[in-house]
Amino acid sequence: MIVATCAELLWLEKGKYIHGLVSKSGLFAENSAVGSSFVYMYAKCGDMEDASLMFDEIAVKDVVSWTALVIGYVRNDDSEKSLECLCEMHRIGGDGEKVNPRTLEGGFQACGNLGALIAGRCLHGLTVKTGLGCSQAVQSSLLSMYSKCGNVEEARNSFCQVVDKDVFSWTSVIGVCARFGFMNECLNQFWDMQVNDVYPDGIVVSCILLGFGNSMLVREGKAFHGLIVRRNYVLDDTVNNALLSMYCKFGTPSPAGKLFDGVHEWSKESWNTMVFGYGKMGIEGKCLELFREMRDQGIEADSNSLVSVISSCSQLGLINLCRSVHCYIIKNSMDEDVSIANSLIDMYGKGGNLSIAWKMFCRTQRDVVTWNTLISSYIHSGHYAEAITLFDEMISEKLNLNSATLVIVLSACCHLPSLEKGKMRYLKESDGDSSMVSITTMYYAVIVDRTTIDCNIDYQLTGSVARMAIMPCGSTSIAQWGIRPQFMIKSYMPNSTMKARCGVNTKMSYLAAPSSGLFSRESFPVLSYTGTSQTSNQCRGAQFVVRADSDFYSVLGVSKNASKSEIKSAYRKLARSFHPDVNKKPDAEQKFKEISNAYEVLSDDEKRSLYDKYGEAGLKGAGMDMGDFSNPFDLFESLFEGMGGMGGMGGRASRNRAVDGQDEYYNLVLNFKEAVFGVEKEIEITRLESCGTCDGSGAKPGTKPSKCSTCGGQGQVVSSARTPLGVFQQVMTCSSCGGTGETFNPCNSCSGDGRVRRTKRISLKVPAGVDSGSRLRVRSEGNAGRRGGSPGDLFVIIEVMPDPVLKRDDTNILYTCKVSYIDAILGTTIKVPTVDGMVDLKIPAGTQPSTTLVMAKKGVPVLSKRNMRGDQLVRVQVEIPKRLSSEEKKLIEELADLSKGKTATSRR
């Protein structure tokens, strides 16, 4: 018990002292459990060397000692050693060495930390074989392991097997789905989590936000941000950082900047996120300005921020500032960080200081990115042969090349006379070694660049380009690489040669492209060849021009520099002409959809910017598919909504749609014990309910609504005015019917609204463990909807009155007790107030001032887990009298003399 207390309070020195006493008494030989407790104590305090020595001294090792060592290595970031101990334990395989659920839990944690999926599966098999998989802790650890290893399918299966799903289980499965882009499933799990009365914390919300950012789902990410604000989900530092990171990945600096400026005190992580984000978005000035503010406020920059700052300085050509940042890095001992070193090598190399770049390369720990950076710097400075030599040295070090390596080397070969050498390298490194990365379209782009210059059209079209056309490359790569949907591949050869070798005259269809992917028929339907009339002996410039499906500017008939008002005016004009209710031609509706899609993109600054850079593929790569409206007429009606839509066009306006009721909020005040143990309260709320007189229609009983005589049932009226420029028509919402197209005699009870305000008493069950700020949701108990809409929800906001004696710290309760110095020395038992009543607490002899005693499971129940409770922490305050009687003083002096005598005797 004493050793366990030292472990929990991390008293390593006192634990060693007790270890010495026990060693002298010889208890280790009699009881192996004593040795196991010391293994646990040393491991808990972080001293794994002594824990291992203690483990070796145990004569008969049982499962407790093995488990203590396995978990100790995991907690001290040595997962490999933990798995070695687990394997050794299983190899010995005696009755006392069989694994238990706690051992398996530590093993799964180690596998997850290392990403060792195969070892994790073997351990999973052992779990099934031993029948220990029913444990809640083992199930949760198994789910966490598969999530960390990135095995989504196994994580799903493990999650389904967890019986009592807590917030950690939901976090694991939501996190792995978000990390690998399964956002639909991620959101479904998010809603199911709340249906099962598990409230999402900041980690869950941040996982979803980061998933939207990684998947470039801009529209969905913004909608989820709105949901967070509207439903008052957790908004802690983790969520705020995830929001900043998401908007930075979207390349939308405005929302990120507003979010950052709206908070007065940001954490260190938030500052670094914004600096890194501005650098990634190419806003170099803002990146440097924010970094300067960080430095002035004494906030430490991390490696990602410094990489962005170095890149920004390099892009702006601020060499002196780059050197100042380099000094800052050295001063803060961050120059050994590999990512920072790579950025500095790139900065000096691209700036022409190859000697400094080479020195930094020699002194840093090199990875494949370091080699790529230096080789690229030599190519940038025109030293192509030296770059090839560096590549040969890189291969000799047996590094695993990535796609960037081959692209860089091929670009160097393109500037050397020996193209065949480059081809051989290309084929050798990409096809000859199975460990190399797969060939990507970028390789072919480099080869096309060189072969078109050398008129090597046979290799270009029959080899690389033909293979390039069938590569399964998604549109996201377009946005990442900056390839526009309209580009040119230049070639210099006679027209007759082109026609003879390729069968191309004025058109060439698809390059055998598949029906989907980057070079699909849908993305690039026309590949045309243009050029002047040439003879077989003339080598004039020819061009392949690949064009996208349609040009949104041409669809609306505006220039690329058109303002928003010009775009809006053009859309209105075309929409009126091609609306299917006006234009009866067969292709009118399709044309109307094209016009709507074009206007939707060009009227949004963010989408227009992406379209101008990357075309339609850029919008898809950023998660902005054209046609955010499921019905193209929704866009049309939303634009004309302020003027009531368009008269005589079929009445498509949303005049009779159901309107959901608004949510209702109620503040509930609880006393301390009610919040701790839960309570059933009857509350009284005032809300809008459907009118019983008219059944929610708003019309007087016995009457029927009639068509509005003003608008003829359209809900809109058209006013015309003749001007020198022609007849001007304005469409407005009908003031008589409010846009519904119907008039009726209003109900006397609800005055035509269909709802009346009533008071209702609701029985509310408050779960144990709530705290101030907790929200309880009662579905469908909010305000009633209109025209058949669903009712809103009732949100109960909890406010807890503080207790005058007991203080709450999350699930723990804090209490300070006072004892006399005599009781502290000799020990005693006192009565301590708890939420369960007065409880006896033993004060051990020799208790020191400010000692904290733990009363296990006397704290607050964990929310949604009533059988789990926190602890009550009792802080002992020793009272020393300010005045002593003469007799007391005499006795204490005698005690002091006695203590000095013992000290002197022990020293002799």
- Encoded amino acid at 397, one letter: E
The two three-digit tokens of residue 773, written as one number: 């700020």
Q: Any residues with CB less than 8 A from the CB of 843 and at least 6 apart, and which?
A: 819, 823, 824, 827, 828, 829, 830, 853, 876
- Mode of pairing for the β-strands spanning 837-843 and 742-743: unpaired
Q: Per-residue pLDDT averaged across 833-853, rounded? A: 91
- Residue, of 273 and 477, whose pLDDT is higher: 273
The order of strands in the sheet holding 541-547 is 487-492, 541-547, 526-530, 507-508
Tens of pLDDT, residues 327-343 = 888 888 887 888 888 88
Whether residue 109 is predicted with pLDDT greater than 60 in this model: the reply is yes
Report the SS3 class of residue 245: helix
Residue holding tokens 């305050």? 877
Distance CA 141, CA 107 (A): 9
Whether residue 437 is predicted with pLDDT greater than 60 in this model: the reply is no
Q: Per-residue pLDDT averaged across 311-316, rounded? A: 83
pLDDT band at 871 (very low <50, low <70, confident <90, very high): very high
Distance CA 10, CA 36 (A): 17
The pLDDT of residue 842 is 92
Please say whether the beta carbons of 495 and 534 come within 8 A.
yes
Percentage of the chain with pLDDT > 90?
6
The pLDDT of residue 572 is 83
The pLDDT of residue 217 is 86
The pLDDT of residue 877 is 92
Please say whether the beta carbons of 493 and 538 come within 8 A.
no
- Residue, of 423 and 115, whose pLDDT is higher: 115
Percentage of the chain with pLDDT > 70?
75
pLDDT band at 738 (very low <50, low <70, confident <90, very high): confident
Q: Per-residue pLDDT averaged across 404-426, rounded? A: 63
The pLDDT of residue 844 is 92
The pLDDT of residue 480 is 32
pLDDT band at 445 (very low <50, low <70, confident <90, very high): low
Q: Per-residue pLDDT averaged across 305-320, rounded? A: 84
The pLDDT of residue 31 is 64
Whether residue 907 is predicted with pLDDT greater than 50 in this model: the reply is no
- Structural domains in the chain plus CATH codes: 552-639 (1.10.287.110), 664-800 (2.10.230.10), 807-887 (2.60.260.20)
Distance CA 636, CA 599 (A): 10
pLDDT band at 832 (very low <50, low <70, confident <90, very high): very high
Q: Which region, left, alpha or beta, applies to residue 144 given φ > 0 means left and ψ of -120 to 50 means alpha?
A: alpha
The pLDDT of residue 729 is 58
The pLDDT of residue 463 is 43
The pLDDT of residue 76 is 84
Whether residue 169 is predicted with pLDDT greater than 50 in this model: the reply is yes
Whether residue 774 is predicted with pLDDT greater than 60 in this model: the reply is yes
CA distances from 775 to 18, 590, 667, 740 (A): 48, 48, 9, 37
pLDDT band at 533 (very low <50, low <70, confident <90, very high): very low
Distance CA 163, CA 275 (A): 43
Q: Any residues with CB less than 8 A from the CB of 639 and at least 6 apart, and which?
A: 568, 571, 572, 575, 599
The pLDDT of residue 474 is 36
- Residue, of 848 and 725, whose pLDDT is higher: 848
Q: Which residues pair with 853 in a beta bridge?
A: 874
pLDDT band at 843 (very low <50, low <70, confident <90, very high): very high
Q: Any residues with CB less than 8 A from the CB of 36 and at least 6 apart, and which?
A: 58, 62, 64, 65, 68
The pLDDT of residue 449 is 53
User: For 527, how many CA atoms within 13 A lie in the half-sphere containing its CB?
Assistant: 19
Please say whether the beta carbons of 110 and 122 come within 8 A.
no
Whether residue 79 is predicted with pLDDT greater than 90 in this model: the reply is no
Q: Per-residue pLDDT averaged across 816-837, rounded? A: 91
Q: Which region among 65-69, 747-751, 900-904 has the lowest average model confidence (pLDDT)? A: 900-904
Whether residue 544 is predicted with pLDDT greater than 50 in this model: the reply is no
Tens of pLDDT, residues 778-805 = 988 999 988 778 899 999 989 888 888 8
pLDDT band at 140 (very low <50, low <70, confident <90, very high): confident
Distance CA 312, CA 232 (A): 37
Q: Which region among 260-269, 558-567, 615-624, 643-652 has the lowest average model confidence (pLDDT)? A: 643-652
Q: In what helix (H) or strand (E) does residue 238 lie, and over which residues does it extend?
A: helix 237-250
Q: Which region among 437-451, 465-479, 571-585, 625-639 has the lowest average model confidence (pLDDT)? A: 465-479
Q: Per-residue pLDDT averaged across 394-403, rounded? A: 77
In this structure, the number of other CB atoms found within 10 A of the CB of residue 245 comes to 23
Burial class of residue 905 in the structure, from the number of CB atoms within 10 Å of its CB (0-12 exposed, 13-18 middle, 19+ buried): exposed
Distance CA 92, CA 97 (A): 7
Mean pLDDT rounded to a whole number for the chain: 74
The two three-digit tokens of residue 262, written as one number: 């709206």
The pLDDT of residue 619 is 60
pLDDT band at 812 (very low <50, low <70, confident <90, very high): very high
Q: Per-residue pLDDT averaged across 186-197, rounded? A: 86
Report the SS3 class of residue 812: strand
Q: Which region among 81-90, 147-156, 505-514, 704-713 has the lowest average model confidence (pLDDT)? A: 505-514
